[in-house]
Structure 1
Amino acid sequence: MTTHEETGTMTTPTAQNGQQTTGRGPVGTAPTSPAPVIPAPRDLYAEQQRDIERFEITIDQYLRGEIAEDVFRVMRLNNGVYGQRQGGTNQMIRIKFPAGTIVPEQFEMMAEIATEFSRGWGHITTRQNIQFHFVELSRIPEVLRRISRVGLTSREACGDTVRNVAACHLAGACPHEKLDVTPWAEAVFEHFVRNPLGQRLPRKFKVNFSGCSTDCGQAMFNDVGVVAVTRTRDDGSVESGFRVYIAGGLGATPHPALALEDFTSREDLLPTIEAALRVFDQTGNRENKLRARMKWLVDQLGIDEVRRRVIKVRHTLPASSSWPGGIPTAVSAAGDEPAGTAGEVTEVGHGVRVTLRSRDPYERWAEASVVRGTKDGLVSAVAYAQLGDITAAQFRGLAAIQRRFSADVRLSNRQNVVFRSVDPARLPELFEALAAIGMALPGAELARDVVSCPGADTCNIAVTQSRGLAKAIGDRLEEEGLAEVGGVRINISGCSNSCGQHHASDIGLFGAERRAHGRSLPGYQLLLGGHVGDEQIHFGQKTLRLPARNAPEGVARVVRRFAAERDAGESFRGWLDRAGGTTALAADLRDLDHVPTPDEGPDFFVDYDEADPFTAEVSESECAT
């Protein structure tokens, strides 16, 4: 990924002889027809420094009481800064990594931020960001300046903006891909960051890329999801392009993304995405934030009308004098050729059956964590980050390992770190290096790889401590020898808004308050059967509600049954259907719905990672839905 300092500088258009053009011809000549205006490349780094200066002034004014909270909140969120449930000047800052791409200098900067500004570690999100909590508001400008030195920004990582542009973690290194979508994600990021179009949208707007229909990039539940595809022309030649999906979303009411059209050319992709954004901006609901996402626009107008409007707007964009046109610079510079295929190809995607046959730690890691089969003979390997958390020491270790192996590295939407373009002969060396920093457990597509949002640890609207439950589930699976069961994904959210993507996993849980014996206690709704793949999404179905303290046992029972009963190569969803669906599983877990009295089971009334009795304390949302 190029750093933002390299993305262009503001220049004055000049004539071929070097004279400045005015649209009237050189001085002393008769007027001529205006020359076509070619938009000058943007200097994103200079824009960023001006942004930081303005934000620093605004923070000072806010802390002096000169700016109202609701006015300041908009600017704070647009700069990637959230408040925390602890209140005061504790802040969370979210740093964007387009397509999840990260380089050694950025890993080292993350270590610096973790040590000097936060609590010693950072957290990988399900949208390939890294966020830090408990950062003092007055120190945010210094954080922004430091990350800008290594080509990073937090701009529009939050708020009603175009969020981080996410992509498959194997993009450019996947044997199954039709195109390398990495430069396309970078181009979309560059086009929309600080773009006036995206500063005050009706609601947040998310764009995701996948290089093939396996959809590791999660195109099927975002506002715009882009899947690389091919089609055969009339003359028999093959054209690479995209299938664009729109209006997907999770939240309390999930919606699958719907195809805009069967095929979108490479030249039309960027104007198609901008057209979708413009239609959303012009017609989205600005009165009710709970019904303001793109998915609700389709509910209101119907998909056919939304398609018509998007295509109509797209037709007008190339005529604009400000439209760059053609293939984006980021794509033409880097190229988007797929990685190609050679030799034995590793299956990838949701529900991949992973079987660990060896007792040797390295062999088990390699069986679960390594993807093979690209034309260049190089491989990719997953470094497991439990709960997506990485300490300052691990950040530094990852930087050193990346340099040592000259690897291309990505953050994944399952909150792990992926080393790509690795010589397979050096895999044992890579394993030892990762083991030295505690990141060499086999985790990819195994039950132990539990995904969780931050939950009530820091989030204003979380009901429960989802991180605490995720750790408890992981511990229970380890104790029972179930942590390395393959082909099952577990995702947890601290509320119904699905930041932990509970709707899209085999086993999903979201936090909710329960009442028993006249008291509140933390509880979870269990969902089963969510799945993303083959350009489809199946949302998990509600099964039953459990007290938080019984949720680890409930998950362990489901994983145990799946491991014991599945047929060879059978997916979790296939097994669930054969086992009788959610009704049958709910009956098997019904005894776990029991809540003892506070005297018999006092821990049932205290959430994970808490010491005091549970109370459902929820503040105003800055982000949800």
Structure 2
Amino acid sequence: MSNLVISEKVSSVAKRDIIDLNNKINAFNSGETPEEAFRKFRLTRGVYGQRQPGVQMIRIKLPYGRITADQLVRIADTSDKFATGNLHATTRQDIQLHFVKLSDSPQLWADLEDAGITLKEACGNTIRNVTASSVAGIDPDEPFDVTPLTHSIFTYFLRNPINQDMGRKFKIAVSSSEKDSALAFIHDVGLIAKMGVNEKGESVKGFKVLIGGGLGAQPFSAQTAFEFLEEKDVIPFIEALLRVFDRYGERVRRHKARMKFLLNDLGLEGMMARVAEERTAVKNKVFAIPEDLFGTNASESINHAPRPSVSEEEIMKIAAESISGADMEIFTKWLRTNTFEQKQKGWYAVQLRVLLGDMSSDTARKLADIVRQYAADDIRVTVNQGYILRFVKGEDLVAIYHALNSLGLAAPGFDSTMDITTCPGTDTCNLAISSSYGITRVLEDMMKSEFPEMIYNQDIKIKISGCMNGCGQHNACNIGFHGSSIKNGKLVLPALQVLLGGGFSGDGIGLIGDKVIKVPTKRGPEVLRMLFADFEANAYDGEYFNQYYARQTKNYFFQLLKPLADLSTLQEDDYRDWDHDELFKTEIGVGECASVLVDLVATTITEGQEKLNLAKENFESGIWADAIYHAYNVLITGAKGLLMTKDVTTNTQYGIINDFESNFGKEFKYETPSQFVLPDAEETPFRSLAFSINKFEPTEEFASYFLDTAEQFLNFVRSTREAQLLENGEPALQELSFGKDS
């Protein structure tokens, strides 16, 4: 978009990001920037390639899912202007817009930033959206509101140099109580609120800390790093952990590049020992969480002083004035499954069940009006792709029901068995194998018709992903499905991999589901029929589904469902996916979550210069720790560039440092002030410099030395490359353009 308009309300750092995106799109379109380098860049700006060529998915980053009514309207308006008029809520409490032109993405971002909404680091190898319990702040079971900590994590690590170019993405979740409604057990870092006692014997806020969880083809449950860590120590711990992941994490083999694999390699004790080594260098040794953050709870927009509770009987009396017959039965179900009294007495939360997580822009604008009239200006997107409204008066529940019902947002059964979580699947995703939306619609309709009581069941959760990667979190629920395929002779048919026993056990432990059997996708409804019938017939009174699964064992369920895997009885329709008339064929594109290693030396030198510029900016602003880390990244980037000239395969940062020593280490020389000399005399100058990153406090003096030496190193890389080109008779070094600043 040539005429980029950015309002004065947009912060200077966001404005620069938007202009930078616009410039790099222009440079990419003109051929100045290689495709892989550009892809790496745009992903960290929330711009993600779709299955359909020529259009993008835009991921809007909403920390802990919070938006105001005005922000919801802005997202709706933006979708109308640049996308399809649809808002897709995700399992990470984001909202996604689809079918956006690449050239429109900078203006789209500018329009959102005007309303205080960012795309920064929504995709790519960074910290993704920080999720939290959608009921945080109103949860009757919570020991305290985790929203301030979650918001602080988001702001602390946004644009933080330690997570700008990691080997893979990094996910953090914060749960408000031991019920773990944010699914801490499947995250790289999961935090569960609890009260504890400090060294002075005082009662203090803190968290159980889990690390190394993850889904995908090889799911892991997180391990316990701390049973209790004081709130003030949480952010410094995460920072130190990220520094370890950044330095030692895999960067070549995408399927091994998540933190769970590094933890598996190092072991918990080894991981925690390396984290402890980083404590000297972290920016803050403790980080007190302020309680007055913008948007930390609904008290800012509503007087939430306790009010008299309104009983269900009183609500039903109000309802009787405007609802009757079969409509009253639906309202009663909605009241019992989609509302609850908050910890603030007399105030109620209203939960919206949204099919497939999709909401039209017109509906979103009308929902914003409902919020303004009846609720606090604090909407939360939920991890099961719905929405929750907060601080509704009990006497207004009937009125808000009518308003929501007119929009199709009053379907009962929020977060019940009937409320299936799903990813977009083959509708838009490059990696999807089969349709997620189609099977979700069919299963929900089937349950509504044949198992209507499932709207009251909070024990059995169903989640669906279009492939094994787990965006629909199919590994972390009682009954999960992921898209797959089955070959039958020369033909291929769409299939569902059935997983059972994931999610939470009866005693609250988070579990990863077992792969039990693969069946043709058209037999998905029969899978549920058989599971429900078997559970109803054979489970003990009060037995949870996962307890029943564990008692019967995986083989029992394999034998139960085995007849559905029989291919001898296939019909022609089995070769067609849900929502499709054509015969099925697998069409899998290239995923965009992987780390992209740019194999052009000139590009790495350009990247190094950009990181050096950021280091200087932070130094001038007095942010010594960030200046040091940006300068450290100059070392890694430059070293990687020169190693490419000798066809040395680069991987972890730790490995790059060691490989550079073997190939170039003794050639780079500089003067080290005595106070910064490491005791190991065997270190080469480069190793000594790189490994000093966690040996000294992030002072102005150390930052000045480290930044100056990093600049010397980048000049060494540039001159070495120029000498190589001259020796080989090749053209002089031409650093690739990433677009001119404006």
Q: TM-score normalized by structure 1?
A: 0.85
Using the TM superposition, give the Cα deviation of residue 327 of structure 1 relative to its aligned residue in structure 2, in angstroms. 1.4
For each residue in 1:230-261, what CA deviation from the matched residue of structure 2 results, as whole angstroms up to 9, or x when unmatched?
Answer: 12457764222112211111111111111212
Whether 1:149 aligns to 2:149 is no
Larger Rg: 2
What are the within-5 Å matches in structure 2 for residues 94-243 of structure 1?
Answer: 94-232=59-197, 237-243=202-208
For 1:591, give the aligned amino acid: P
Question: Paired residue for 1:368?
Answer: 337
Whether 1:552 aligns to 2:525 is yes
Using the TM superposition, give the Cα deviation of residue 611 of structure 1 relative to its aligned residue in structure 2, in angstroms. 2.6
Q: Secondary structure at the match of 1:360?
A: helix
The worse-fitting range, judged by mean Cα deviation, of 406-415 and 534-543 is 534-543
Distance in 2, Cα, partners of 1:269 & 1:233: 14
For each residue in 1:338-394, what CA deviation from the matched residue of structure 2 results, as whole angstroms up to 9, or x when unmatched?
Answer: 999999999xxxxxxxxxx99621111111112225143312121110111111121
Using the TM superposition, give the Cα deviation of residue 103 of structure 1 relative to its aligned residue in structure 2, in angstroms. 0.5
Distance in 2, Cα, partners of 1:596 & 1:119: 42
Distance in 2, Cα, partners of 1:297 & 1:112: 43
Using the TM superposition, give the Cα deviation of residue 596 of structure 1 relative to its aligned residue in structure 2, in angstroms. 5.5
Whether 1:405 aligns to 2:378 is no
Which of 223, 231, 248 aligns to 1:283? It is 248
Which of 484, 500, 504 aligns to 2:455? It is 484
8 Å contact from structure 1 (residues 531, 538) kept in 2? yes
Distance 1:337 1:282, change over 3 A: farther
Distance in 1, Cα, partners of 2:306 & 2:396: 20
Question: Paired residue for 2:588?
Answer: 618
Distance 1:261 1:341, change over 3 A: farther
Using the TM superposition, give the Cα deviation of residue 94 of structure 1 relative to its aligned residue in structure 2, in angstroms. 0.3
8 Å contact from structure 1 (residues 175, 345) kept in 2? no
For 2:475, give the aligned amino acid: H
Whether 1:587 aligns to 2:587 is no
For 2:361, give the aligned amino acid: A
Distance in 2, Cα, partners of 1:212 & 1:285: 33
Distance in 1, Cα, partners of 2:351 & 2:373: 16
Distance in 2, Cα, partners of 1:63 & 1:176: 53
Question: Paired residue for 2:712?
Answer: none
Aligned residues: 566
Using the TM superposition, give the Cα deviation of residue 396 of structure 1 relative to its aligned residue in structure 2, in angstroms. 0.8
Distance 1:601 1:334, change over 3 A: closer
The worse-fitting range, judged by mean Cα deviation, of 231-240 and 457-466 is 231-240
Question: Paired residue for 2:14?
Answer: 48
Which of 360, 372, 385 aligns to 1:391? It is 360
Using the TM superposition, give the Cα deviation of residue 541 of structure 1 relative to its aligned residue in structure 2, in angstroms. 1.3
Distance in 1, Cα, partners of 2:255 & 2:285: 35
What are the within-5 Å matches in structure 2 for residues 51-66 of structure 1?
Answer: 51-66=17-32
Using the TM superposition, give the Cα deviation of residue 577 of structure 1 relative to its aligned residue in structure 2, in angstroms. 3.5
Distance 1:379 1:562, change over 3 A: farther
Using the TM superposition, give the Cα deviation of residue 114 of structure 1 relative to its aligned residue in structure 2, in angstroms. 2.4
Q: Which runs of 5+ in 2 are unaligned?
A: 1-7, 312-325, 596-742
Question: Paired residue for 2:502?
Answer: 530
For 1:510, give the aligned amino acid: H
Question: Paired residue for 1:418?
Answer: 388
Using the TM superposition, give the Cα deviation of residue 559 of structure 1 relative to its aligned residue in structure 2, in angstroms. 2.8
What are the within-5 Å matches in structure 2 for residues 318-337 of structure 1?
Answer: 320=283, 323=284, 326-329=287-290
Distance in 2, Cα, partners of 1:237 & 1:336: 25
Question: Paired residue for 1:32?
Answer: none
Using the TM superposition, give the Cα deviation of residue 228 of structure 1 relative to its aligned residue in structure 2, in angstroms. 1.1
Whether 1:428 aligns to 2:398 is yes
Distance in 2, Cα, partners of 1:452 & 1:477: 16
Q: Secondary structure at the match of 2:117?
A: coil
What are the within-5 Å matches in structure 2 for residues 268-279 of structure 1?
Answer: 268-279=233-244
Question: Paired residue for 2:217?
Answer: 252
The worse-fitting range, judged by mean Cα deviation, of 446-455 and 153-162 is 446-455
8 Å contact from structure 2 (residues 62, 93) kept in 1? yes
The worse-fitting range, judged by mean Cα deviation, of 159-168 and 192-201 is 192-201
Which of 51, 55, 69 aligns to 1:85? It is 51
Distance in 1, Cα, partners of 2:356 & 2:532: 19
Using the TM superposition, give the Cα deviation of residue 300 of structure 1 relative to its aligned residue in structure 2, in angstroms. 1.0
Using the TM superposition, give the Cα deviation of residue 110 of structure 1 relative to its aligned residue in structure 2, in angstroms. 2.0
Distance in 1, Cα, partners of 2:337 & 2:532: 18
For 1:46, give the aligned amino acid: S
Distance in 2, Cα, partners of 1:591 & 1:332: 56
8 Å contact from structure 2 (residues 353, 386) kept in 1? yes
Distance 1:295 1:97, change over 3 A: same
Distance 1:426 1:343, change over 3 A: closer
8 Å contact from structure 2 (residues 279, 285) kept in 1? no
Distance in 2, Cα, partners of 1:298 & 1:479: 46
Q: Secondary structure at the match of 2:219?
A: coil
For 1:571, give the aligned amino acid: Y
Q: Secondary structure at the match of 1:302?
A: helix
Distance 1:125 1:365, change over 3 A: same
Whether 1:442 aligns to 2:415 is no
For 2:128, give the aligned amino acid: R
For 2:445, give the aligned amino acid: D
For each residue in 1:378-431, what CA deviation from the matched residue of structure 2 results, as whole angstroms up to 9, or x when unmatched?
Answer: 121211101111111211121111101132321100000011122222111121
For 1:576, give the aligned amino acid: Y
8 Å contact from structure 1 (residues 187, 331) kept in 2? no
Using the TM superposition, give the Cα deviation of residue 182 of structure 1 relative to its aligned residue in structure 2, in angstroms. 0.9
Distance 1:171 1:129, change over 3 A: same
Using the TM superposition, give the Cα deviation of residue 307 of structure 1 relative to its aligned residue in structure 2, in angstroms. 1.1
8 Å contact from structure 1 (residues 100, 412) kept in 2? yes
Distance in 2, Cα, partners of 1:531 & 1:416: 19
Distance in 2, Cα, partners of 1:188 & 1:564: 47
8 Å contact from structure 2 (residues 236, 287) kept in 1? no
Distance 1:218 1:101, change over 3 A: same
Question: Paired residue for 1:5?
Answer: none
Distance in 2, Cα, partners of 1:336 & 1:427: 21
Q: Secondary structure at the match of 1:371?
A: strand
Distance in 1, Cα, partners of 2:49 & 2:150: 28
Distance in 2, Cα, partners of 1:345 & 1:435: 21
For 1:289, give the aligned amino acid: R
For 2:578, give the aligned amino acid: Y
8 Å contact from structure 2 (residues 125, 594) kept in 1? no
Q: Secondary structure at the match of 1:144?
A: helix
Q: Which runs of 5+ in 1 are unaligned?
A: 1-8, 10-42, 347-356
The worse-fitting range, judged by mean Cα deviation, of 237-246 and 65-74 is 237-246
Distance 1:510 1:287, change over 3 A: same
Distance in 1, Cα, partners of 2:228 & 2:281: 19
For each residue in 1:37-72, what CA deviation from the matched residue of structure 2 results, as whole angstroms up to 9, or x when unmatched?
Answer: xxxxxx982211110011011112212222211011
Distance in 2, Cα, partners of 1:329 & 1:445: 32
More helix by share: 2
For 1:484, give the aligned amino acid: I
Whether 1:461 aligns to 2:428 is no
8 Å contact from structure 2 (residues 517, 558) kept in 1? yes
Which of 64, 71, 92 aligns to 2:37? It is 71
Q: Secondary structure at the match of 2:194?
A: strand
Which of 347, 358, 364 aligns to 1:378? It is 347
Q: Secondary structure at the match of 2:226?
A: coil
Distance 1:181 1:506, change over 3 A: same
